Structure 1
Amino acid sequence: MDPSTPLKPTRITPAARAGLDRWRKARFGLFIHWGLYSIPAGVWKGKKVPYIGEWMMFQEKIPIATYEKFAAQFNPKKFDAAAIVRLAREAGQRYLVITAKHHDGFAMYDSPSNPYNIVKATPFARDPMKDLARECKKQGVTLCFYYSQDLDWHHPDGAWNTWDFDEKKKNTDRYLKEKVLPQLKELLTQYGPVGLIWFDTPMCISRKQSAAIRAFVKKQQPGCLVSGRIGHGLGDYGIPRDNQMPPGRLEGGWEVCATLNHTWGFKSHDHEWKSSTDLVRTLVESASKNANYLLNIGPKADGSVPAASVARLRSVGRWVQAHGESIYGTAPSPFTHDFPWGRITTKGRILYLHFFSRPSRHFELRGLKTKVTSAVPLLKSDHKIGISQTIDSTGTPLLKLDLQGVRFRNPVTVLKLRLSQSPTVIPGPIQEPDGSISLLSAESQPGAAKGKPALHITPLGFTSGWKNSTDYLDWNATVLTPGEFTVEIITTHQHLEPWSGGHTARIEAGGKTLSKKITRDYEIDYTQAAYFLRIATRMGRVKITESGPFTLRLHLDKILPPPNDTPLWDDLSPLIVAVRLLPFSKA
């Protein structure tokens, strides 16, 4: 399991709870990765590197004596704190997180405790964090800092520099005492109130050390949040992996962090920019799943923000300015699962339906038990939408909306539904009007033929620990329209890490047993497909003859041993996202 995932709730003080509430209501933040790595900009010794720009020192094993020379070249005369904070406001981003120190160990602020910083080691000789702190206060944006507490390739005791230093001689406690704690104190005392410290990559640090860092931050500023990547489940909120979107609704506080292209730090040759449509939809999806959206820019070495980044943030901002009511201060969807047509957020007695595509005139939402008193387009409140609520023969509540005359526009159209009370829904999967049935792992119940299963579902909604063939997953769903269905298993993996396929799966459903190896039959297109592939395996077909309750059980009869290429986070047991049933057509 990713160590940035909270394992259990930490004790929340009133000050931290108030900070967490403010952070949740903000929903949208600006991430900034800026440092010496913006000088080579993804090119080393004439070669365009394929990896993320800020990891160049590690990937190329650049000696400290060589990397330090970048500091003498760093003179970002085009840095404009007021313009950057204004850009965040234009995008609708209400907090800002900037790299105070990344893994290369270089401090992007005036650090009295360590001379390897932008004021003392560069011709710029100015503290950009002071400028940002002033502008954030002036423009009403919450200032936050990123700080790499574990990986530091400049300090002898920091993690993961084995080309300059002897790993056997490293002393993490000494590194924390000499560098981490003094610099955290500087960040928390030199710039006024800080919304959060965004820690990262807790690969070598112990639970005791993570706890000590957390306590130190809270002592300096009790209301300052600690990100999930402090490690060991000790954060105030959780963070999925970079550019990862969980498949279903999350419990507790979360934050999806994502790039505008494929790098965090500036790379001169990365022009694969995400579309504004995808960015808006990712913001909506994050909010619907109980997560904030932290969207990154990587300024150039001269301090300017790439024009493509500015254009996309402003485009997102135009949508947010008109539709912010459906994002800011919202709670997640009352449903655990997604919908083929879009996503839902809530605010008290209001549901916001976010449509990613144009629905049919007679739209149907299944499973909402609460009475809907009115429905209008968010941007045209005088257009009253026709409402019908019934209960079908299975006991499933059906909401039908007559959408005649409603204009649907990209990237997202929002309908506002006012309810008689806070929404309540039928739990579990329900067949969609298009006939499909999606069974998320998060909606399953793990079991075992004997004893307690080692298999479990992670807080992000994936299977983990599936090492015993006696373990299984059970689903209970509601079918409204019987028929013949193609059954698929959906698995996932991070794009740079091995896929855990080849296991033999067995599905029991509809009085039939389907058995097949998990193969890469095709890949599902979705917004984060470039980072976390979702791979479909066609298992065969089943026939459901009656409407009403439907059960499905998934076994793995043969589980292959994990490959030697062990990833950073996952245990390499099969990562099952869902099982889905699609109506079979002979045409």
Structure 2
Amino acid sequence: MSLRCLFLTYFAGLTICFSPLAAMAETPAERDARMEWWREAKFGMFIHWGVYSVPAGTYHEKQIGGIGEWIMRQAEIPVAEYRGYAQDFNPVKYEPEAWAKLAKDAGMRYVVITSKHHDGFALYDSAVTDWDIADASPYGKDLLKPLAQAVRGEGLKFGLYYSQAQDWTHPGGAKAGYGEGDSWDDASKGDFDEYLKTVAVPQTEEILTKFQPDILWWDTPVWMSAERAAPLNALLADHPQIITNNRLGGGFRGDTETPEQHIPATGYKDRDWETCMTMNGTWGFKSYDHNWKSTETLLHNLVDIVSKGGNYLLNVGPTSEGEIPQASIDRLHEIGKWMDVNGDSIYGTTASPCRIPVWGRITSKPNRLYLHVFDWPADGKLVVPVEVAHVGACRALADPSKTYQVSASEAGVVVQLTGSALDKIDTVLQLDIEGTPTEIIERIVPGADGKVQLTAADAHGEGSVQQEQIDGKTSLGFWTESQDKVAWYLDLPAGRYQLQATVAAPSTSKLTASIGAAKASVAVQSTGSYQEFESQDWGTIEVAKAGECVFELQPVKAGWRPINLRGVTLTLAE
């Protein structure tokens, strides 16, 4: 797995184009039919497993920082020495049927496992190399086929991850932070094109033929030009129902966006997408990483993602003996219990028709809204900021006998709650409606002091922009793409407004602020890091006409560098 921060560090000079070059002839209706099961599923299991589970984060008695599966690269372990770990990779406790059942019981609908990660080690018997489970380990047999059979036996879909470009063992494979063909070890130096021809392409053909995966999950498209990616993409022609992600490179977009370890603020409006996340701090097993996310956090992540139209791919990292850590098992069982009761509010739903409410999240089906109440209102008043033709009954999924009174107001549909929350993590209410819900925009107005406070929590972001917590305060981060913008909906008096922002930025950057036709150029000054926030004067902007308006911040492409933004204050000038 290649974390965004590692990409920004190692490949800062790499430009990756995601415009389609050679999409297969497919009508929108055919695409919808192919993607239907994936869009219904919402929840899947990621499995990162390999030789890296043997050192488990420790090399020469030293704990190596970073994610567990990157230990070979992080510690620059020589190829010959790393290959020795395979002699201790003997998963005699591997029970593929138990893994498949665990995924099914957790409410997951598909499983994706690493067939080959960046260390180049294959979890199946590959004719391309002897650096695989059958030839290099005492276990001596394929790990993927029995899992594929078990997963499909539970009625789930089966997918494979494949690192097509980055390979730290085979000569010529890309090595993060090194130039093309270079490495820390002469044994793995070589020609990248030869590597693609003799390893990546034939191995991809192998896994497609042997396992007929429903998903092919490429990773790290470093150095992948259109010419280099084309032979890999061409292999998909014989598998017209397969679903692929956006990490092949060379301009081939695949079917899904893959935000990693974060949830975009608004999802992707025109693309299917899937957030992949770890349960602790690592993908591959690290013996000393006990920083486990709570079941509450994992469930809230699932609901948040689904409420924005995405899927959740949640990772487990088995040990070298083939055991999934008990902490992961416990959390998956707890998630499964919640899904048994509330699964209807997840599977087959679409994104919320409105902004994030203060009390939780919303998922949607035709003529039905699911209200995910994270925080039970003290006054019992739940406002859903939508307008509909007619509202019907509202009941709790956990206890359909519990119904709640519903009414309409200028602010939206109001549900009057009684009693207390039925679930401390997420009480789900089913609200029956008629007609397509329309969002009621809540306009921000000046406060009693005349100032207009535009907070990160109230922002409407596009693309990869994410609301995140830094030092307990909400900010807008992961703002990496220059085409992404953020907006606030306002109702203001006319006049000239001073802009004051609270921002953190490791380098200078440029934005354009706009209200209607009025625009102002903004120069963001460096604060030293993404965590060091300071107040900055961003100049002034004119509101020509009183009333409803939209304040937008749009990066200037030529001068854009990512920032974290906590908020902007507009003050009417004297």
Asked whether the equivalents of residues 441 and 463 of structure 1 are also in contact (C-alpha less than 8 Å), the reply is no
Going from structure 1 to structure 2, the CA distance change for 1:383 and 1:241 (only over 3 Å counts) comes to closer
Going from structure 1 to structure 2, the CA distance change for 1:262 and 1:51 (only over 3 Å counts) comes to same
The equivalent of 1:477 in structure 2 is 489
Distance 1:242 1:209 in 2: 25
Q: Secondary structure at the match of 2:387?
A: coil
Asked whether the equivalents of residues 388 and 437 of structure 2 are also in contact (C-alpha less than 8 Å), the reply is yes
Asked whether the equivalents of residues 462 and 486 of structure 2 are also in contact (C-alpha less than 8 Å), the reply is no
Deviation at 1:201, TM superposition (A): 0.8
CA deviations 1:163-182 (Å, max 9, x no partner) are: 2249995232x222211122
Going from structure 1 to structure 2, the CA distance change for 1:386 and 1:280 (only over 3 Å counts) comes to same
Asked whether the equivalents of residues 214 and 226 of structure 1 are also in contact (C-alpha less than 8 Å), the reply is no
The equivalent of 2:199 in structure 1 is 179
Q: Secondary structure at the match of 2:72?
A: helix
What's the TM-score once normalised by structure 2's chain length?
0.80
Going from structure 1 to structure 2, the CA distance change for 1:474 and 1:422 (only over 3 Å counts) comes to closer
Structure 1 position 216 matched with structure 2 position 235: yes
Amino acid at match of 2:434: S
1:574 pairs, out of 562, 566, 570, with 562
1:346 pairs, out of 364, 371, 389, with 364
Deviation at 1:576, TM superposition (A): 5.8
Q: Following superposition of structure 1 onto structure 2, how do residues 223-234 of structure 1 map, counting pairs within 5 Å?
A: 223-234=241-252
Going from structure 1 to structure 2, the CA distance change for 1:501 and 1:372 (only over 3 Å counts) comes to farther
Deviates more, 1:399-408 or 1:90-99: 399-408
The equivalent of 1:418 in structure 2 is 432
Taking only the aligned residue pairs, the percentage that are identical comes to: 32
Going from structure 1 to structure 2, the CA distance change for 1:74 and 1:548 (only over 3 Å counts) comes to same
Asked whether the equivalents of residues 39 and 70 of structure 1 are also in contact (C-alpha less than 8 Å), the reply is yes
Deviation at 1:548, TM superposition (A): 5.3
Structure 1 position 333 matched with structure 2 position 332: no
Asked whether the equivalents of residues 388 and 434 of structure 2 are also in contact (C-alpha less than 8 Å), the reply is no
The equivalent of 1:112 in structure 2 is 127
Structure 1 position 383 matched with structure 2 position 382: no
CA deviations 1:424-450 (Å, max 9, x no partner) are: 334x66459x9976233429xxxxxxx
Q: Following superposition of structure 1 onto structure 2, how do residues 156-175 of structure 1 map, counting pairs within 5 Å?
A: 156-160=171-175, 162-165=183-186, 169-172=190-193, 174-175=194-195
Asked whether the equivalents of residues 487 and 579 of structure 1 are also in contact (C-alpha less than 8 Å), the reply is no
The equivalent of 2:169 in structure 1 is 154
- Count of residues in correspondence between the two structures: 523
Structure 1 position 286 matched with structure 2 position 305: yes
The equivalent of 2:393 in structure 1 is 374
Going from structure 1 to structure 2, the CA distance change for 1:515 and 1:209 (only over 3 Å counts) comes to closer
Asked whether the equivalents of residues 33 and 298 of structure 1 are also in contact (C-alpha less than 8 Å), the reply is yes
Distance 1:277 1:534 in 2: 29
Going from structure 1 to structure 2, the CA distance change for 1:4 and 1:177 (only over 3 Å counts) comes to same
The equivalent of 2:153 in structure 1 is 138
Going from structure 1 to structure 2, the CA distance change for 1:375 and 1:211 (only over 3 Å counts) comes to farther
Deviation at 1:516, TM superposition (A): 9.4
Structure 1 position 552 matched with structure 2 position 547: no
Distance 1:127 1:31 in 2: 19
Going from structure 1 to structure 2, the CA distance change for 1:473 and 1:61 (only over 3 Å counts) comes to closer
Structure 1 position 44 matched with structure 2 position 59: yes
The equivalent of 1:358 in structure 2 is 376
Amino acid at match of 2:87: A
1:403 pairs, out of 412, 417, 429, with 417
Going from structure 1 to structure 2, the CA distance change for 1:114 and 1:47 (only over 3 Å counts) comes to same
1:188 pairs, out of 195, 199, 208, with 208
Q: Secondary structure at the match of 1:228?
A: coil
The equivalent of 2:341 in structure 1 is 322
Deviates more, 1:298-307 or 1:180-189: 180-189
Amino acid at match of 1:265: G
Structure 1 position 261 matched with structure 2 position 273: no
Going from structure 1 to structure 2, the CA distance change for 1:5 and 1:106 (only over 3 Å counts) comes to same
Distance 1:334 1:233 in 2: 32
Structure 1 position 439 matched with structure 2 position 427: no
The equivalent of 1:447 in structure 2 is none
Asked whether the equivalents of residues 342 and 353 of structure 1 are also in contact (C-alpha less than 8 Å), the reply is yes
Q: Secondary structure at the match of 2:439?
A: coil
The equivalent of 1:84 in structure 2 is 99
Deviates more, 1:411-420 or 1:38-47: 411-420
CA deviations 1:511-568 (Å, max 9, x no partner) are: 9x999966879x9xxxxxxxx97968587999x9x99514435589xx9998xxxxxx
Asked whether the equivalents of residues 441 and 461 of structure 1 are also in contact (C-alpha less than 8 Å), the reply is no
The equivalent of 2:294 in structure 1 is 275
CA deviations 1:343-364 (Å, max 9, x no partner) are: 1111112111112211231222
Distance 1:533 1:274 in 2: 22
Distance 1:4 1:23 in 2: 26
Deviation at 1:385, TM superposition (A): 1.8
The equivalent of 1:249 in structure 2 is 267
Deviation at 1:270, TM superposition (A): 0.5
Q: What stretches of structure 2 of length at least 5 have no aligned partner?
A: 8-14, 176-181, 448-452, 464-476
CA deviations 1:386-422 (Å, max 9, x no partner) are: 222133xxxxx52222112353532111121111123
Amino acid at match of 2:96: A
Structure 1 position 34 matched with structure 2 position 49: yes
CA deviations 1:147-195 (Å, max 9, x no partner) are: 00010112212111612249995232x222211122122212222x411
CA deviations 1:27-84 (Å, max 9, x no partner) are: 0000000000000000011101121011111111111111111112221111110111
Asked whether the equivalents of residues 42 and 347 of structure 2 are also in contact (C-alpha less than 8 Å), the reply is yes
Deviation at 1:461, TM superposition (A): 8.6
Distance 1:239 1:181 in 2: 23
Distance 2:131 2:279 in 1: 29
Structure 1 position 304 matched with structure 2 position 319: no
Distance 2:25 2:293 in 1: 37
Q: Secondary structure at the match of 2:90?
A: coil
Distance 2:156 2:485 in 1: 45
Deviation at 1:290, TM superposition (A): 1.4
CA deviations 1:130-162 (Å, max 9, x no partner) are: 110221121112111010001011221211161
The equivalent of 2:86 in structure 1 is 71
Distance 1:186 1:232 in 2: 22
CA deviations 1:452-475 (Å, max 9, x no partner) are: xxxxxxxx9946449xxxxx9784
Deviates more, 1:241-250 or 1:434-443: 434-443
Asked whether the equivalents of residues 442 and 462 of structure 1 are also in contact (C-alpha less than 8 Å), the reply is no
Going from structure 1 to structure 2, the CA distance change for 1:319 and 1:57 (only over 3 Å counts) comes to same
Distance 1:73 1:167 in 2: 22
Deviates more, 1:112-121 or 1:141-150: 112-121
CA RMSD between the two structures: 4.1
Distance 2:205 2:557 in 1: 48
CA deviations 1:484-534 (Å, max 9, x no partner) are: x99875768xxxxxx4356588978899x999966879x9xxxxxxxx979
Q: Following superposition of structure 1 onto structure 2, how do residues 199-210 of structure 1 map, counting pairs within 5 Å?
A: 199-210=218-229
Amino acid at match of 2:429: L
Asked whether the equivalents of residues 491 and 574 of structure 1 are also in contact (C-alpha less than 8 Å), the reply is no
Distance 2:18 2:103 in 1: 28
The equivalent of 2:469 in structure 1 is none
Q: Secondary structure at the match of 1:119?
A: helix
Asked whether the equivalents of residues 356 and 411 of structure 1 are also in contact (C-alpha less than 8 Å), the reply is yes
CA deviations 1:101-127 (Å, max 9, x no partner) are: 000001011112222110111110111
Asked whether the equivalents of residues 460 and 486 of structure 2 are also in contact (C-alpha less than 8 Å), the reply is no
Distance 2:83 2:112 in 1: 25
The equivalent of 1:495 in structure 2 is none
Amino acid at match of 2:396: P
The equivalent of 2:111 in structure 1 is 96
